A and B are shown apart, each in its own frame.
Chain A
Amino acid sequence: MKLPPFSSSRPLTLGVELELQLVNTYDYDLVDSTTDLLRLLKKKGKDWDVKPEITQGMVEMATGICVSHADVFEQLDEIRQGIVECADRLDIGVCGGGTHAFQHWSERRIYDTPRFDQLSSLYGYLAKQFTIFGQHVHVGCDNADEALTLLHLLSGFIPHFIALSASSPFVQGNDTGFHSARLNSVFSFPLSGRAPLIETWDSFGEYFDSMMATGIVKSMKDFYWDIRPKPEYGTIEVRVMDTPLTIEKAARIAAFIQSLTRYLTLERPYSPRETDYLVYTFNRFQACRFGYEGVYVNPRNHEHRSLSEEILDTLNKIEPHAIALKADEACAALRREVLTASGDAGWLRQQHAKTQSLAEVVQKQCARWRA
């Protein structure tokens, strides 16, 4: 397969995908009910975009093309209600969160499609370990070269996205000490991490062809990059976020990315360069491990500061753009979270401290998702 041409899309439009957990209401473990839920949703006759994911017990919901924070929220809200209604009829719970707190990876079952079967035979247990739940945000770009530049500019803000969305402290029944442990599962894939610094679509096509020639990739989907272009949609897709516990939060993060994009494209404070990536994995690890408390190293002036300071500083810089996009309320809400050091990972840990039971934590996650 050749790299498809990059379709043009309206700049600054958004598309949000959320991967969700389906659990039973008995001991709150993941339940293989994806097929049943999709069947009931289909009967509702709405054109909601809800798809299976790699293992049974996961489901992905997606908005159409959105222009604003309010738009994202309304679309997510409508689909969420539809999913919750169908889930109620099946007596299953739905929740956000980047990982299921105590599911056992070996008990997962691969959702039966040719692609998932092929992934499963290639990656073995990694495919089942991939039962993790992320938020993906697509940002529209009018041309391919712009998109690639934007991809590398946004790469500097990966730690921000991770810390703001982190909601996966528990894995396989244990507190990992991480705010986002979900990303550790992504890192084990051979083609994960950052995209190579290429800023024209022609050169990118050459890179893609040489990778194809080696036989290790067949399509863009085989790259598990933190941000990757989606030529069919004419977007770049930010993929590092955990699925937040509420759609309010998910919509705010999308609004933050939108405002940041506007800032980066209109003000173009700097151009991407390879040395920006020297600190990339360090910053990313700090954000996963410590959340807002992590260290952020500025690749340009080598200053070390806390990620919370860095996020607040970014929020200041993008404020006029947030106002222009009507995303200022969403950004203000994120600011309050950073200032009070509250987030989904912290909330989950609090619930666990209170109840001493991870099953009860999942139950409370479901309650938050409904509300």
Chain B
Amino acid sequence: MMGHTQWLFFMRIALSFLLASLAGEGVCRLVKMPRITGYALAGLLLGPLGLDWVDGEDLPDFRFLVELTLTLLLFELGVRVSLRWLKYNPWVIASSLLESGATFVAVFAVLMMMGLEVKSALSIAVIAMGTSPVIVLRMVTEMRAQGQVTQRLLVLCGLNTVYSVVCFYLIMGWFQGTFHGQWFMALFHSFYLLVGSLGMGLVLALSFKLLRRMFELSDEQSAPVLFGLLLLLQALLVALELPVFLAPLLGGVLAKHFDPRPHLWPRHFGTAGSILTIILFMMTGSLLTRNEFMVGAETAMIVLLVRFLAKGLGVLLLGPISGLNLRQSLVLGVVLIPMAEIPLVELMDMRTLYPQMGVKILPIVFSMMNVLEVLGPMAVQWGLIRSQEFQEKSS
């Protein structure tokens, strides 16, 4: 028997989910905006800024689902990053390093100028480097996009997510060192997290290859096998206290490298993926409180502008030499706008670990994230239409 509160909670979440999914369909049909913009708007409406049906308190209940969504999507994204291509065209790595580096430096500089202290500025700069894999993959799938801009968007997104997560853990190590004075332990811990993630990624890629030799994983019926494998990975990462994000992404990259055969399974994750995405977007919308928004909004807007310019200039500078034309390079700068939800869970941890810093950073980051969850998908949609890389629906 369900208790009274459980019943209420369940009903609240179910209604929220239905509302979010309807909002997605609504904006898609009525104003031709991306579905996920609708989910994000619904999240804001349902969150503390609106009806207050869902809030940060609910996150722990969904943490597992949020992490599972990210695991699936990050593995899928990793598979789209071809190391062979980076070898044939090193300018792609160069433009990735430039856009991420420029973003980091510019955001850090502007925050320092605005009077933030070093640690907060560093944290936000590191988070700002990453492009959202969730938005990017959902949009590419929804628009069935393909072409050079799409290809580079996926690869740059995969790479800057890696930089962002790696730097985030290094910085967290440094914070722990200064807070507690245990330098060796802190750095060792960061090292453990990064090397451990790489190791688990390797294990994932090798088991993927082994399983693929036994079953045809492109087959629709075998998709659950892969799903199970990723679920097991998630469990292992939790058990080893490793971050859940780096390993699936690196695992995807290595899987593609070890086994360059076509990867057709993401098609079969479609429905499950979109359901999980709705939950993820609902949750981010629900994190932002009115108070935080008032505190963080202004800084967030300035940081977003600087971030956009840095990324845009980064890819524009090296776009042509890496094989794009000028227009494609400009569009690429726009489609890189969505910001990663990856640090979401980490930030929630940070809120409890370092409450003082949390108070400074979270309002800015949550405001940025929420703005970009609404605008980011629209930017990607605009860019992919502009570069003519979307497919018309076949019916």
Residues of A at the B interface (CB closer than 8 Å) are: 24-29, 31-33, 36, 39-40, 88-91, 104, 106-107, 109, 356-357, 359-360, 362-363
Residues of chain B with a CB closer than 8 A to A106's CB: 394
Given A89-B89, A107-B394, A356-B216: A26 touches B148 (CB 8 Å cut-off): no
- Residues 142-168 of chain B: 1 if any A CB is under 8 Å from the residue's CB, otherwise 0? 001011100100000000000000000
A-B residue pairs in contact (CB < 8 Å), sample of 10:
A25-B85, A25-B260, A26-B262, A27-B262, A27-B264, A36-B324, A89-B322, A104-B394, A106-B394, A359-B218
Taking a contact as CB atoms under 8 Å apart, the answer to whether B82 and A91 are in contact is yes
Complex CA distance for A254 and B323, rounded to whole angstroms:
34
* Most chain B Cβ neighbours within 10 Å, of A24, A90, A91, A359: A91
Residues of chain B with a CB closer than 8 A to A362's CB: 262
Number of interface residues of B (CB under 8 A): 27
Complex CA distance for A25 and B392, rounded to whole angstroms:
21
> Cβ of B141 < 8 Å from any Cβ of A?
no
Residues of chain A with a CB closer than 8 A to B218's CB: 357, 359
Residues of chain A with a CB closer than 8 A to B151's CB: 24, 90-91
Residues of chain A with a CB closer than 8 A to B394's CB: 104, 106-107
How distant is A271 from chain B, measured CB to nearest CB, in Å? 51
Complex CA distance for A28 and B392, rounded to whole angstroms:
19
- Please provide the chain B residues from 260 to 292 with a CB less than 8 Å away from any CB of chain A in the complex: 260-264
5 closest pairs, A vs B, by CB?
A359-B262, A91-B85, A88-B88, A106-B394, A89-B89
How distant is B385 from chain A, measured CB to nearest CB, in Å? 13
Count of CB-CB pairs between chains A and B under 8 Å: 69
How distant is B269 from chain A, measured CB to nearest CB, in Å? 14
Taking A25-B85, A89-B88, A357-B216 as known contacts, 13 extra A-B pairs with beta carbons closer than 8 A to each other, sorted by chain A number, are A25-B82, A26-B79, A29-B146, A36-B148, A89-B322, A91-B151, A107-B144, A107-B391, A107-B392, A357-B261, A357-B264, A359-B261, A362-B262
Complex CA distance for A24 and B154, rounded to whole angstroms:
13
Complex CA distance for A95 and B146, rounded to whole angstroms:
18
Taking a contact as CB atoms under 8 Å apart, the answer to whether B264 and A90 are in contact is no
Query: Which of A32, A39, A104, A356 meets B146, CB within 8 Å?
Result: A32
Complex CA distance for A89 and B82, rounded to whole angstroms:
12
Given A27-B262, A107-B394, A359-B264: A39 touches B325 (CB 8 Å cut-off): yes
Residues of chain B with a CB closer than 8 A to A33's CB: 147-148
Q: Would you call the interface of chain B mostly helix, strand, loop, or mixed?
A: loop
Residues of chain A with a CB closer than 8 A to B260's CB: 25, 363
* Most chain A Cβ neighbours within 10 Å, of B88, B151, B264, B394: B151
Query: Which of B80, B262, B323, B392 meets A90, CB within 8 Å?
Result: B323
> Cβ of B67 < 8 Å from any Cβ of A?
no
How distant is A37 from chain B, measured CB to nearest CB, in Å? 9
Given A359-B218, A359-B264: A89 touches B146 (CB 8 Å cut-off): no
Complex CA distance for A360 and B216, rounded to whole angstroms:
12
Residues of chain B with a CB closer than 8 A to A25's CB: 82, 85, 260
Taking a contact as CB atoms under 8 Å apart, the answer to whether B80 and A26 are in contact is yes
Given A36-B148, A88-B88, A359-B218: A28 touches B262 (CB 8 Å cut-off): yes
Query: Which of B85, B261, B325 meets A360, CB within 8 Å?
Result: B261
Residues of chain A with a CB closer than 8 A to B324's CB: 36
> Cβ of B178 < 8 Å from any Cβ of A?
no
Residues of chain B with a CB closer than 8 A to A356's CB: 216
Given A40-B323, A91-B85: A360 touches B262 (CB 8 Å cut-off): yes
